[in-house]
């Protein structure tokens, strides 16, 4: 039997993209890139034009009127171009009645996510700048955590060019 993902539209986010390994829904915080209009299948053999939200972290999702109102309420902005860079939290609400059936749907929560905190890697960067040889640089860089390495890769490359 095929995996369930073969039966869903791979171009858009859906409730199944919010399932963890235990079959429970989890929330996602995403950053809005753009809002566009796209033509989608309407389930009745035809197509319709819908608004879609494109994010930095996920596939786009179709923007319902409820979610549109929530984003406007959160951002205090009615122009969708002004939503770029806004962070929102998505969750699945189960058993929403629509078109005579019950669906598990994506909803924007009314909670504004905390701003992303900038991490200070200046101590790790200085450790790399203090290296006198390529070998010291390699050793210093590999001693950093994976997250620190990502934060300091530009300094590592800069030092690699100087020491080479």
Residue 156 neighbours by CB distance under 10 Å = 20
- pLDDT on residue 9: 63
Crossing angle, helix 146-163 and helix 122-129, to 10 degrees?
30
Render pLDDT for 24-37 as a digit per residue (tens, 0 to 9).
999 999 999 999 99
- pLDDT on residue 69: 97
Closest CA to 156 of 116, 129, 136: 129
Render pLDDT for 78-133 as a digit per residue (tens, 0 to 9).
999 999 999 999 999 999 988 788 889 999 999 999 877 788 999 999 999 999 99
Render pLDDT for 3-57 as a digit per residue (tens, 0 to 9).
444 555 678 898 989 998 898 999 999 999 999 999 987 777 888 899 999 999 9
If you average pLDDT over residues 135-146, what whole number do you get? 93
């Amino acid at each position: 039997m095929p995996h369930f993902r073969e039966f869903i539209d791979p171009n858009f986010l859906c409730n199944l993209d919010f399932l963890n390994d235990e079959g429970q829904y989890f929330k996602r915080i995403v950053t809005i890139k753009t809002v566009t209009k796209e033509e989608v299948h309407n389930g009745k053999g035809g197509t319709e034009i819908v608004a879609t939200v494109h994010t930095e972290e996920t596939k786009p999702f179709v923007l319902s009127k409820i979610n549109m109102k929530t984003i406007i309420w959160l951002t205090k902005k009615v122009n969708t171009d002004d939503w770029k860079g806004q962070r929102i939290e998505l969750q699945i609400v189960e058993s929403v009645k629509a078109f005579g059936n019950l669906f598990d749907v994506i909803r924007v929560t009314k909670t504004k996510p905390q701003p992303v905190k900038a991490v200070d890697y200046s101590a790790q960067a200085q450790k790399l700048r203090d290296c006198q040889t390529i070998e010291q640089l390699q050793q210093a860089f590999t001693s950093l955590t994976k997250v620190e390495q990502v934060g300091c890769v530009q300094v590592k490359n800069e030092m690699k060019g100087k020491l080479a």
